[in-house]
Each structure stands twice: as C-alpha cells, then as structure tokens.
Structure 1
Amino acid sequence: MSDASRKRDLLVVLLSLNSGATDAIGLLLLGGAFTSVMTGNMVLLGVSGAQGDGSLALHAGTAIICFVIGCAVGHRLAGSARPDDPVWPAQISRALTVEFAVLVLYAAFWMFAGGEVSEAGALGLLALNACALGIQSSSVQRFGVPGLSTTYLTGTLTTLVMRLTAGKPLRDVQLSALLLLGLIGGAALGGLLALRAPVVAPLLQLACVGTVLLASRFLTPTRTSATATTAEVTG
C-alpha cells in the first residue's frame, strides 16, 4: 500500500469518528434516533409501531428519509469510482464540503440556542445531521475500496471476524479495526460532550470533517499535475 493510500485510510477513520459522534449526539440530544445507522432506525420504526410511540416513529422516519436524501446528493456530487481515479478524487472533497456546510448550519442553530431547542427544533437538527452523514456515506463509496465505509460498519465488523477466523495476519484487518475504533471513540467523545458540555458538542463534528477537508488537499492532484500526467501518458 502506498503512503498516499495509508493517509487516505486515516482520513476515512476520522470520518468514522464523526459518524460515531453524530450518532451519539442524535441519540442523546435530538430525539433518540440514529443519524447513520439506518438498520437501527428501521428497527426503531418497527418498535414505535408496536408501542404506538408517534414521536419515536417521527424521529426515526425523518432520519431515514433525510439520510436517503443525503446519499442521493452525495452520489450526485462525488460520482462513482473510476479505474483512473487518484487516491483522493476531487469530487469527494466537493461532496464533503457540502456535508461540512450542512453541519455548520446545524452547529450555528444549536449553539445560538444555547444547546436547548424545542422538540420541533431537535427534529430539524436531527434531519440535518442525518442528511450530512448520508452525503458522507455515499461520497466515501467513490473510493471504490471494498470495506472502506464510515457508516456501514456492521459489515466491517463481519469482515474483520471472518478474516481473523481464516487466519489472516493482523495487517489485513488493521483498517477494519481502526474504522470500528474510530466509530466507538467518536461515540464516546460525542456522548461525553452531549452530557457534559452540550453547547459545544457540534464542534467535534466540525473538527473531524474540517480536518479531513484540509488534509485531503495534499492528496488531491491539482489541475496542473493532472494535465501533466495526461500529457505524459498520451505523449
């Protein structure tokens, strides 16, 4: 694996940390629904029907719908993987910039309200968070790397267990382990802020995505270098 690929993987781990933090904040502060774990939200939607809990149904359903919208937006912006893609395609940064803008909107509203919003306000902020993670989830798929995900981590855990059971060396499961640890660590940090300092909790999410955007600039080929590479190939 190249040095650039290793750096890309570390940035994706940072995005998984953002997923964990955003999910924890959604569960603790924004109505008790997930913002990236749509399997969990589908279960919550079913449970809400059994319990007759309209509020839970509304929150879980809103999160699912907004995540789907975010996925569609992310795919439109980032596109699909191509054989000639660089390690970090510029389209991914474009999609993550939109995610960052959505998180800025949510953070501004939350912090202006002093971390205390009405039920309707919490539902709106949950919707923004779910949309942001939908964008993140589909844009990461542009890498076209199997197992590289920041939201579908049940599959990552399954892959890790299967590889360890098959006797694969630790280096073959290192990335999967880091993604899972990133998710858990993000949930721990997000949960801690949500309980101890809720007003500043969104800063963790902004820091994660903002750092990824800044660092990815060093992995994204400039127009000049891309043109030079094309000239070398055609020449």
Structure 2
Amino acid sequence: MLLLTLLSGVVDAVSLLGLGQVFVANMTGNLVLVGLTFAGAPGASPAGPLTALGGFVAGALLVRAVAPRHVNHRALVGMCALLESALFVVAVLTWSYDGGHEPALLPIALCAVALGAQNAAVRRLGVAGLTTTVMTSTLTGLVAGRAEERTASSTRRQALSVLTLVAGAALGAALVHLAGPRWALTMVAALAVAVAFTLLVPDWPSAGRGPAE
C-alpha cells in the first residue's frame, strides 16, 4: 500500500510537470481546475482535467464491472498493479507532449484509467489510514481524529501515508528534472510491477499445490 502511495505521488508529479498541468491521481485537484476553467481563469484549459476525470471514472468502473465482490482483495490489487504497469508503458510509447500549451490527452487518459482502477481496488481492501491518493481525510484524521478512534497503528499508518505521498511527489519531480517525464513515467511502471510482485508472488506456490500436498 505504501508503494502504491509512492507511485501516486510520482505519477501526479509527472503529470503535473510533464503532461500539461493536470493531475491523474488527485481528482480533487482536477475538479478545482475545471472550476477555474468555467470561471474563465487565464491559461486554464478544460481538456486535460476533463480527460483525467473521464479516465479515472472509466478505470474505477472497470474494476467494478469485472471484479466480483468475493474476489480475493489482495489478488485484485495485484492484478490492478499489473494493469497499471501496462497502461504506463503504453503511455510512454504513445508520448506526444512537447511542452506546449495543449496537454497530452492520450497519456493523461491512460494514466488516469490506471489510477482509477487502483483507487477502486484499494477501496475494496478498506485499510484504515491508507488510501494511496486522497490525503485530505487522512491528514484530518491524523491531527483531529477522535481519541477513541485513534490507535498507535492507525496514527502510524496515516503519518506514513502522508509522508510517502510527499516523498513520491519529490521523487517524481526530481526524475522529471534529471531524466525527463518519459523516463519518470517508466519508473512509475516499474513501481507498479514491484507492487504486483509483492502481492501476487507469495500466492503462487500455494496456488500450484494439489489436494494431497
């Protein structure tokens, strides 16, 4: 879960700095950008935020449509991580953004689908204090949660989640600056593969055993 949080921070830094001032994980930010566009704010464009919102919703609906409620949640998040890595690779291969004013809509859509699926899968897990992208409620719970609801483990999870997202954003910004956004997004794909590995590999040996074993 913390790796997914790190991934979210990196990919939002890449999208914000390298895809035309848009978020692909933090939909709250995109809703604000859409509002700025409707208000006629200078330099605001609806294309990128609306594309990200549409892709995010599509990714979440995909998980809802194809993953039954009784599916193993650990396996579901692992499979979504594999899907994310594939979508990030395609986004790198189809990269067309040259730093101009128009956002790179196809990479934005692909990354947003990946993060929409991730959020839908993580929601199934229901781990308190670990949402991987939405930190407003996590930060509020950390500093203003009711005493009877707070435990040492939940406080630690919330603090680690916030710090990991910040670290991911810093890492993403550094990668964009040092290697360029395409290489930074390649790093995001590698992170997604690492998440899938940690979630799915431990289940493989037991899955291959017969009843006699």
Question: What TM-score do you get using the length of structure 2 for normalisation?
Answer: 0.84
| Structure 1 CA distance for aligned equivalents of residues 151 and 100 of structure 2 | 51
| Structure 2 CA distance for aligned equivalents of residues 109 and 91 of structure 1 | 27
Matched, 1:212 2:195: yes
CA distance 1:178–1:57, shift in 2 (3 Å): same
Q: Which residue of 2 aligns with 1:125?
A: 107
| Structure 1 CA distance for aligned equivalents of residues 26 and 184 of structure 2 | 20
Matched, 1:51 2:40: yes
Q: Which residue of 2 aligns with 1:155?
A: 137
Contact 1:96 1:139 survives alignment (8 Å):
no
Which one-letter code corresponds to 1:15 in the other structure? Answer: L
Contact 1:78 1:92 survives alignment (8 Å):
no
| Structure 2 CA distance for aligned equivalents of residues 160 and 219 of structure 1 | 32
Cα distance, 1:79 vs structure 2: 4.1
Q: Which residue of 2 aligns with 1:94?
A: 79
CA distance 1:89–1:169, shift in 2 (3 Å): closer
Contact 1:35 1:67 survives alignment (8 Å):
yes
Contact 1:70 1:135 survives alignment (8 Å):
yes
| Structure 2 CA distance for aligned equivalents of residues 219 and 142 of structure 1 | 20
- Please point out which of 10, 14, 31 is paired with 1:21: 10
Contact 1:73 1:135 survives alignment (8 Å):
yes
| Structure 1 CA distance for aligned equivalents of residues 207 and 67 of structure 2 | 17
Identity %: 34
| Structure 2 CA distance for aligned equivalents of residues 208 and 41 of structure 1 | 24
Between Structure 1 and Structure 2, the one with more helix by share is 1
Which one-letter code corresponds to 2:130 in the other structure? Answer: L
Matched, 1:63 2:52: yes
Q: Which residue of 2 aligns with 1:4?
A: none
Which one-letter code corresponds to 1:72 in the other structure? Answer: L
| Structure 1 CA distance for aligned equivalents of residues 105 and 143 of structure 2 | 36
Matched, 1:181 2:163: yes
- Please point out which of 223, 229, 233 is paired with 2:207: 223
| Structure 2 CA distance for aligned equivalents of residues 102 and 207 of structure 1 | 12
| Structure 2 CA distance for aligned equivalents of residues 224 and 201 of structure 1 | 36
Cα distance, 1:178 vs structure 2: 1.3
Bigger Cα displacement from structure 2, 40-49 vs 52-61: 52-61
SS in 2 for 1:74: helix
Cα distance, 1:169 vs structure 2: 5.2
Q: Where does structure 2 lack aligned partners over 5 or more consecutive residues? A: none
| Structure 2 CA distance for aligned equivalents of residues 50 and 27 of structure 1 | 21
| Structure 2 CA distance for aligned equivalents of residues 31 and 120 of structure 1 | 7
Which one-letter code corresponds to 2:8 in the other structure? Answer: S
Matched, 1:134 2:95: no
Which one-letter code corresponds to 2:75 in the other structure? Answer: A
SS in 2 for 1:146: coil
Cα distance, 1:108 vs structure 2: 2.4
SS in 1 for 2:203: coil
| Structure 1 CA distance for aligned equivalents of residues 198 and 57 of structure 2 | 27
| Structure 1 CA distance for aligned equivalents of residues 43 and 167 of structure 2 | 32
| Structure 2 CA distance for aligned equivalents of residues 78 and 159 of structure 1 | 30
Question: What TM-score do you get using the length of structure 1 for normalisation?
Answer: 0.77
CA distance 1:148–1:21, shift in 2 (3 Å): same
Q: Which residue of 2 aligns with 1:6?
A: none
